Every structure is written in structure tokens, then in C-alpha cells.
Amino acid sequence: MAEDLKTSIRGEILQVKDLPTLPHVLQKVSKLVEDPDASTDAIAKVISTDQVLSAKVLKMVNSPIYGFPGRISSIQHALVLLGFNVVRGIIISTSVFDMMVQAMKGLWEHSLGCATACNIIARRAGFEDPEEYAVAGLLHDLGKVVTAVQLPEVHASVLETVKTKDMTYFQAEKDVLGFGHDRINAWLARHWGLPPNIRESMSRHHAPQMAEFYKPMSCVVHIGDFLVRLFEFGNSGDDQTAYLRPEALIELKFKMSDLDKVMDEMSDQLLEVSDLTF
Amino acid sequence: MSQTLEESLFQRKQVGFLLSPDKSLAEMLQKMWSPEVLEFIVFDKGGKAIEHMFNEPPDLLVVDNRLTDISGREVANLVKSENVYRQLPVVMCVDPVDVETPWNWNKVEVDDFLVRPFNPSEVRDRINLTLCRAMRALDANPLSKLPGNTSIIQKIQQLIDGGDDFALAYCDLDYFKSYNDKYGFSRGDEILMMSARLIVNTIRSYQGVQSFVGHVGGDDFVFILPPDLVEDACQRIIKAFDDIVPHFYDPVDRKAGNITSIDREGNTKVFPLMAISLAVVVNTNKRITHYGEVSSIAMGLKKKAKEDPKSSYVIDQRKA
């Protein structure tokens, strides 16, 4: 896989290096990592609120250096296996882009909300390790972050296209970049050696029926994305409500009543999540 | 130099062989360390040294490329091609003209080289560093890079001699062999790497205390902690292990909660998912006087811990 990804229409290039992360999350994690009494759980909880930091932690633990590539998809497990020293190292080396907070704040909340939703949905569907589904939900729009930070002008014209042509963000990306964030996700996930379940659900959350190996996880993220938009929690760059693919509900054997229960739980938990914002 | 062994970088006296016709080099090296720290035995011909070296290998070999009867490279390769001597660090001495064209260090497997004219303080520290590096590398488990048996025994004896209270836990995995048999050794290694990371990070999270983690070999690990922390550590290791290990199975086996494998007699057998057993020996009030006692007590306890097919720990409750 090539190091970078070249957009087909404007010919600009997205780069894997120096992905941004949120400064206040970094601060919180650094503090916890320095505190000898802080538990792995507490640190994992904070790291899970940041897409880029989460992705970096997972990338590191799944790299061949540790000897079990592509096996770990929970932040909790990653922390136990990496140790605080390595996590501290990741934090130190993570560059911070101030513009991230400005440009993508809505997206961050959207991702966090989606993670929460995915956790609830996965538990309702009776899946093991709902935290892994939350990770997939958290990372599902990572490709958008990369475009916003690395190609701010392209990102601006995507947003503009959404408005003027009344397209979804996803369609607008294809219009401007030549491909959507699903492809950027696939490219990033492969580059970072993320586990195959996370990778596939990141790249298939818009078309979960096309998922090859991890259809249930892709469906959970699809529904999570839909519901969090319905709640208008955060902003994924779209104005309109997303389309919910019926195949996703069928795959999870969900009835409307299941969705109702998920939404009840979401409204409670999203309140808590919004406290995390600032 | 009149440095004593205690003040030196080494735990015991080191012996170095110098193979060189260069009298001034021999004199320089012999003066640099006190003979109780690092003693140099000098051979002006390579041939004479080789039998000596095979019978009584030194801790360090310094080979001069100016040797006349046999080339320096040949000596180095002779040492490095035998697994028994492979770990012996070799330093090559060369003249600037020797290295004008690049050497193929894959073919001349030395550990370092020194170029004339020698700068004495650089020579001193290069050789010190080479010896320290060799000691670190020698006993590390090649897979986990954790200290191996020599270091483990040294550590235990050091604690016993110091009269410190300590707890030593002996960890091993249940049903590791059947996992290895079914999924192959490279996935088996993944399990060992995961276990090593998990134990190390749990033990290191107790800051400011005497601790140690070693890899005995295969699926056997040990760690050392103060007695009051050891039970908490066992519980945390078991919890993390039981959480993580299912992710290393194929989805079908994970769901079934067991694997089906064929034993040596060709019979199909069902094995549970892997678990971790911990046997803890507590040494308080200088009850134990020799490291051998620690391992024999641990082996007894291990049987008890293994009776439980789930992850479990057993702590030796005997009092002094």
C-alpha cells in the first residue's frame, strides 16, 4: 500500500504522517499516565475519547514489533500490553494541530456519540466485547479528520459542495476528491495494521451489506452512525439524516422495538458524553 | 588503573585474549584495567591461541588484522561459526588502509572494531561497552528479550544474600501445547509475546519497589515483587490474561470455548482455552538460604495451581 493517497480530481495528496489529536485529551491522559494510582481503565476511558490517539495506540500494539499483529482491538487490552512508558511516548510524539479543535469539533462529538451508540447496539445484539464495537464507531470517520487537517482547502470545498449541490458529505467527497472517507479509512487502517474487524467496519460503515468478513460489526457502526445523526449529536458534516439500510437491522435481527430501546439508552448516555466535551 | 572489581562495570573478573604482534597495543590494553577486573592474555600468533580459546573461551577476543600466520577475519569467523562460541564478543583492530573499501560485516561477524592510531580512552570505553553489551545480550530470551535463567538465578541469590523479604511467582500457561499444535508455532509465539508484555507491564506498574521479570523459557515466566503486593499482582495478571487470550483464537473456537486437536495417538481431543497458573513462593525472615529451594518449592506449588483448569494462583503459606 502506498504511503500516501492521491486525490483523483484535484491531484492533491493525503499523508499518513503527523495525524492530529486533541490537546485537552492529551493533557488528561498525560496526567493520568504520570499518576501511579491511576488505573488502566481510567486511562483507557480518556484515550477512547480521541480518534487519533486511539488509532495510534492500536496501531502500535498491532505492529509486528510486539509480535501479535492484528490481534488487539480494545484500547484497554492495548494499554495492558503496551505499558505506560510506551503510551507516554506516543503522547509525547503526537503532534497537536490547533485547527483540529476549530474545524472538526462537531465531528469529534459525532464520533464519540457513535462510539457510545455502537457499544449499546453491540450489547443489545448480544455480541461479545462491545468495547471493540465502540472503537470501530469512534474511528469510523477518521478519514474526514485527515482530509480536514491535511487538505484544508479541499475540505472546505467538500463542505461547500454539500451546501450548493445539496449532496451528502460522502457524495461531495467523491465529487471533489474522487473518493470518499471510506477509502481513506481503508487506507489508514491498513497502513496502521489495525485488526481486520475494525478495518472492515471503518471502510464499510456506509455499505455494511458489502462487508465481506465482519458484517455484524460493519452493521453496528452503520446503525450507530445513523442514530447519532438522528439525535443531532455533534456534526459529521451532513445536513440531512442518513439513509438506514434495512439489511443492517436484519443482520442483527433487530426489530423497531430494539431500536427504541437503544435510543432510550443513548439519550441517557449521550448526556454523560457531552460532559466530556469540555 | 587500580579499580577494584566492585567498582567496575562487571559482576565477575573478565578474561580477554589479544591476538596481535603489536607489542604497544598489548601493553596499552594490559595497563588499562587492573588484572582483577579484566585480564588480557596476549598471543603474538593467531594459531597458538585457537586451541586455548576452544578449551577455555575468554569473555572477550581482540583480534588484530596485522596477524601474520592467519587472517583476523579467519579467526573471527572461526569463533562466530560455532554456536558454542558465537556469543563471545570479538573486536577487530585495523589500520586505516584496511577499511578504505567497505567490509562485508555479514561475512566478518565481529562486534566492534578499532582503527589505528588508537585513542586510549576510546579503546577503554569501546571495550567496556562491548563487554556490557555482550552480558546483556547473552542471557536474554531471544523471543521475549526478557532476562533468562542465569539472570533469574543471580537475582534470587542476590535477594537471599541481602536478607530481603520477597515473593517469587512462577507463571506458566495451561493448554499452551495444544494451542501450539493446532495453530502452529508462530501463533504460539504470539501467545508468549503477549504473556510476556502483560506480566512485565503489570509488575512495572508497581513503582518504587524491588521487582523483576524473567523468562525461564517456553511458556514459563517468573516475577519477583515484595510479599505484600504479590497477591494483587496475581489477580491483575489473571484478569488481564483471561480477558485477552480469547482474541488469539479463531472465531469458531473462541465461540465454542475450546479447541479440538489431535493428540500423539491420533485421537481427537477437546482442550479448554488457555489459562495462566501462578505458583508463589514467599521468602520472609530469611527462611530460604539457596535459590534451589525457591524453585523446588515453586514446582510443588505449580502442581497445585494446575489442578484448576481455570487461571489460578497458589501462595506458599509456610512460615519460617
Cα distances from B286 to residues A232, B163, B237, B283, in angstroms, run 67, 6, 27, 6
Q: Are A115 and A221 spatial neighbours (Cβ–Cβ below 8 Å)?
A: no
The interface predicted TM-score of the complex, written ipTM, equals 0.74
In DSSP notation, B13-59 reads -EEEEEE-S-HHHHHHHHHHS-TTTEEEEEESSHHHHHHHHHHS--S
Query: Quick one: DSSP state of residue B103?
Result: P
Task: Copy the grid coordinates of residue A93.
Answer: 510524539
Q: Do B194 and A80 touch (CB under 8 A)?
A: no
**Average pLDDT estimate for A132-159:** 88
pLDDT at A28 over 50: yes
Is residue A152 less than 8 Å (CB to CB) from chain B? no
Distance CA B27, CA B120 (A): 11
Distance CA B216, CA B219 (A): 8
Helix residue spans in chain B (DSSP H): 23-32, 46-55, 72-80, 120-138, 149-161, 176-183, 185-204, 230-244, 251-256, 291-306
Helix residue spans in chain A (DSSP H): 23-34, 40-47, 51-61, 75-82, 84-93, 98-124, 130-139, 142-150, 152-164, 169-176, 181-192, 196-203, 215-230, 246-251, 256-277
Tell me the nearest-neighbour CA distance from A68 into chain B, angstroms: 5
Q: Which amino acid is at A212?
A: E
Most B-contacting residue of A39, A58, A66, A71 (CB-CB within 10 A), to test interface? A71
pLDDT band with cut points at 50, 70 and 90 for residue B282: very high
Task: Using CB atoms within 10 Å of the CB of residue B318, give its burial: 0 to 12 exposed, 13 to 18 middle, 19+ buried.
Answer: exposed
Task: Copy the grid coordinates of residue A102.
Answer: 476549530
Mean pLDDT over each residue of chain B, to the nearest integer: 91
Q: What is the pLDDT of residue A118?
A: 95
Q: Give contacts of A 31-50 with B, CB under 8 A.
A: 36
Tell me the nearest-neighbour CA distance from A67 into chain B, angstroms: 6
Q: What is the pLDDT of residue A11?
A: 81
**Model pLDDT for residues B179-199, shown as the tens digit of each residue:** 999 999 999 999 999 999 999
Q: Which residues of B touch A131 (CB under 8 A)?
A: none
Please give the angle made by the CA atoms of A166, A167 and A172, to the nearest 5 degrees: 130
Tell me the nearest-neighbour CA distance from B249 into chain A, angstroms: 9
pLDDT at B177 over 80: yes
Q: Are B210 and B166 spatial neighbours (Cβ–Cβ below 8 Å)?
A: yes
Q: What is the pLDDT of residue B257?
A: 92
| Residue B290 backbone zone (phi > 0: left; psi -120 to 50: alpha; other: beta) | beta
Q: What is the pLDDT of residue A278?
A: 41
Is residue A67 less than 8 Å (CB to CB) from chain B? yes
Distance CA A116, CA A136 (A): 11
pLDDT at A276 over 60: no
Using CA coordinates, name the residue in chain B closest to A87.
B201
How many other CB atoms sit within 10 Å of the CB of residue A277?
A: 12
Q: Do B197 and A81 touch (CB under 8 A)?
A: yes
Distance CA A95, CA A26 (A): 10
Q: Which amino acid is at A118?
A: C
- State how beta strands B275-283 and B312-315 pair: parallel
**Model pLDDT for residues A63-107, shown as the tens digit of each residue:** 887 889 999 999 999 999 988 777 876 776 665 444 455 556 788
| Nearest Cβ partner for A71 among B201, B204, B247 | B247
Domain boundaries, chain A: 2-17+84-276
Q: Are B223 and B233 spatial neighbours (Cβ–Cβ below 8 Å)?
A: yes
The most confident of A44-53, A190-199, B17-26, by mean pLDDT: B17-26
Q: Are A76 and A131 spatial neighbours (Cβ–Cβ below 8 Å)?
A: yes
Q: Which residues of B touch A81 (CB under 8 A)?
A: 194, 197-198, 201, 244
pLDDT band with cut points at 50, 70 and 90 for residue A18: low
CA dihedral A139, A141, A147, A150 (to 10 degrees): -20
Tell me the nearest-neighbour CA distance from B320 into chain A, angstroms: 33
pLDDT band with cut points at 50, 70 and 90 for residue B297: confident
pTM over 0.90: no
Domain A2-17+84-276 class in CATH: mainly alpha
